[in-house]
Amino acid sequence: MEDKRFFIRDEDGTETEYEIVLTFTDPNTDISYVVYKEPGDSDEVLAARYTEESPEHGTLVEIESDEEFDMIQEVLDAFSEEQE
């Protein structure tokens, strides 16, 4: 995930491009996450668990728990503060 853009293919085979905002690994669980958005000035971000299968391919897994969402929000807030 060194490239700042990636594509997600939906069930119809249509690819959508996204821009990576932040990647990190939770040191308590060793789970990797990616925070991403549609290219451009959009402020809306998405997040998912990420498993790298190879340098060119990986799997995104939906986040389902409120605890995970809260942890990701804290990391994103700290990252945003550092960027300012």
The answer to whether the beta carbons of residues 63 and 69 sit under 8 Å apart is: yes
What pTM was computed for the model?
0.83
DSSP classification of residue 75: H
Residue 60 burial (CB count, 10 A): 17
Q: What is the pLDDT of residue 1?
A: 44
pLDDT in tens, 9-59: 889 999 999 999 999 999 999 999 999 998 887 788 999 999 988 877 889
Give the DSSP H or E segment for 35: strand 31-37
Q: What is the pLDDT of residue 54?
A: 80
